[in-house]
Amino acid sequence: MIHSLFLINCSGDIFLEKHWKSVVSQSVCDYFFEAQEKAADVENVPPVISTPHHYLISIYRDKLFFVSVIQTEVPPLFVIEFLHRVADTFQVCSSNVGDTLPTGQLSNIPWRRAGVKYTNNEAYFDVVEEIDAIIDKSGSTVFAEIQGVIDACIKLSGMPDLSLSFMNPRLLDDVSFHPCIRFKRWESERVLSFIPPDGNFRLISYRVSSQNLVAIPVYVKHSISFKENSSCGRFDITIGPKQNMGKTIEGITVTVHMPKVVLNMNLTTTQGSYTFDPVTKVLTWDVGKITPQKLPSLKGLVNLQSGAPKPEENPSLNIQFKIQQLAISGLKVNRLDMYGEKYKPFKGVKYVTKAGKFQVRT
């Protein structure tokens, strides 16, 4: 299937290679470099490139390209998925990869090794929900959806058999499972029943059906205008809390990709700090927390390249935020039960809501 793998950093050095069959020369990567040049932007390098003798399938992660060389038909997603797993592994242990024996393979439960032992037995679950939304100019929601995951950190001795139940499992519209979960139990009782892998892993990811109205926790008032035949424009945005369920919204960041003709920006902010990168034309405003008494705003002048026509489109605002102790969908874990082991584990659940791909069109 995969013939060879090359790791390439963003300056174009091949710094690692691995060959599963015969050795393929590094020169095969030239086709990749060619495509990379053509694409201009790293994100636009086509994931699949056809060369005279090989096919190159690549992913871009953490400023590295993982380029695999394929010779025969194989489902592209198979390779892409594999490369991402490789990348995950690199992230987790940047030390020696081949050091552990494949003991998991031999266990009855392939995802958990036998004989796990802890002095403190703990099971933590993080319910993380992200709001994906597109808000149009007038402030109405074009599209909104909640994507959630439950990440688990399980440090339990032996072979614990856990079942996690929810107060309102019907909320979950579309769920994908870690292979350890018993699909049948979920189907019939809406209970997550599983023998967990040891350590950190993603238990499920889910989508909350878009039929439900999604609460949008922030609003943005904006007025961005560029004057015709003048080298400046006005920029004014204010952020305020909306349906925030009485929780504090924190970690707010606004990122704006300004049009190319923008030279510089002279802004004043009532809260936080902003930076404008004149090369990439990215404005970043780090707001922090919202206090409803005094809404944070950012306003000032935009300097444009003189003589250039005014930009047609106002840039859209990408917003990040975080709300602790809240799952915006209202999902609640009911209880966690453990079977198969005698000790009493320490259990914990944490909820966080974040902005996912949250975009305000202006």
Partner 1 sequence: MSAAPAYSEDKGGSAGPGEPEYGHDPASGGIFSSDYKRHDDLKEMLDTNKDSLKLEAMKRIVAMIARGKNASDLFPAVVKNVACKNIEVKKLVYVYLVRYAEEQQDLALLSISTFQRGLKDPNQLIRASALRVLSSIRVPIIVPIMMLAIKEAASDMSPYVRKTAAHAIPKLYSLDSDQKDQLIEVIEKLLADKTTLVAGSVVMAFEEVCPERIDLIHKNYRKLCNLLIDVEEWGQVVIISMLTRYARTQFLSPTQNESLLEENAEKAFYGSEEDEAKGAGSEETAAASLPARKPYIMDPDHRLLLRNTKPLLQSRSAAVVMAVAQLYFHLAPKAEVGVIAKALVRLLRSHSEVQYVVLQNVATMSIKRRGMFEPYLKSFYIRSTDPTQIKILKLEVLTNLANETNIPTVLREFQTYIRSMDKDFVAATIQAIGRCATNIGRVRDTCLNGLVQLLSNRDELVVAESVVVIKKLLQMQPAQHGEIIKHLAKLTDNIQVPMARASILWLIGEYCEHVPRIAPDVLRKMAKTFTAEEDIVKLQVINLAAKLYLTNSKQTKLLTQYVLSLAKYDQNYDIRDRARFTRQLIVPSEQGGALSRHAKKLFLAPKPAPVLESSFKDRDHFQLGSLSHLLNAKATGYQELPDWPEEAPDPSVRNVEVPEWTKCSNREKRKEKEKPFYSDSEGESGPTESADSGEQMAELGSSEGVSRPGLSPPFPLSFSEQSEEDGKRKTKKKKVPEGKEASSSDEDSDSSSSTSESEMSSESEEEQLEPASWRRKTSLSTPTVTPPSVQPVSPPAIVSTSLAADLEGLTLTDSTLVPSLLSPVSCVGRQELLHRVAGEGLVVDYTFSRQPFSGDPHMVSVHIHFSNSSDTPIKGLHVGTPKLPAGIGIQEFPEIESLAPGESATAVMGINFCDSTQAANFQLCTQTRQFYVSIQPPVGELMAPVFMSENEFKKEQGKLMGMNEITEKLMLPDTCRSDHTVVQKVTATANLGRVPCGTSDEYRFAGRTLTSGSLVLLTLDARPAGAAQLTVNSEKMVIGTMLVKDVIQALTQ
- Among positions 162-181, residues that touch partner 1 (CB under 8 A) are 173-179
Tell me how far, at minimum, the Cβ of 206 lies from partner 1, in Å: 9
Residue 81 binds partner 1, judged by CB under 8 A: yes
Q: Which residues pair with 70 in a beta bridge?
A: 2, 55
- Inter-residue contact 292 to 201 (CB < 8 Å): no
CA distance 15 to 4: 14
**Minimum CB distance to partner 1 smaller for 116 or for 144:** 144
d(CA 67, CA 47): 9
DSSP for 142-193, written as a single string: EEEEEEEEEEEEEE-SS--EEEEEES-GGGEEEEEE-TTB-HHHHHHH-EEE
- For partner 1, the binding residues in 269-298 under the rule CB under 8 A are none
Q: How far is CA 102 from CA 68, 105, 106, 179, in A?
A: 23, 6, 8, 18
In angstroms, give the least distance from the CB of 178 to partner 1. 6
Q: How far is the CB of 273 from partner 1 (least distance, A)?
A: 22
Q: How far apart are CA 336 and CA 164, in angstroms?
A: 5
Q: Does 185 bind partner 1 (CB under 8 A)?
A: yes
Residue 284 tokens read as 């970043």
CB–CB of 141/213 below 8 Å?
no
Looking at 27, 52, 94, 102, which residue binds partner 1 (CB under 8 A)?
Answer: 102
Question: What is the footprint of partner 1 within residues 46-75 (CB under 8 A)?
Answer: 46-48, 50, 55, 58-61, 70-75
Residue 144 CA to residue 139 CA, distance in Å, equals 13
- Least CB distance from residue 268 to partner 1, whole Å? 26
Separation CA 355–CA 357 (nearest Å): 6
Residue with tokens 């099971």, as numbered in its chain: 123
Nearer Cβ to partner 1 (39/291): 39
Residues 312-341 that bind partner 1 (CB under 8 A): 312-313, 315-316, 318, 339-340
By CB under 8 A, tell whether 44 contacts partner 1: yes
Cβ 309 to partner 1 shortest distance, Å:
5
Q: Which of residues 193-232 bind partner 1 (CB under 8 A)?
A: 202, 205, 207, 210
User: Segment 122-161, which members bind partner 1 (CB under 8 A)?
Assistant: 132, 134, 136, 142-143, 145, 147
Other Cβ atoms closer than 10 A to 59:
19
Contact between 98 and partner 1 (CB under 8 A)? Answer: yes
Q: Which of 82, 194, 226, 235 binds partner 1 (CB under 8 A)?
A: 82
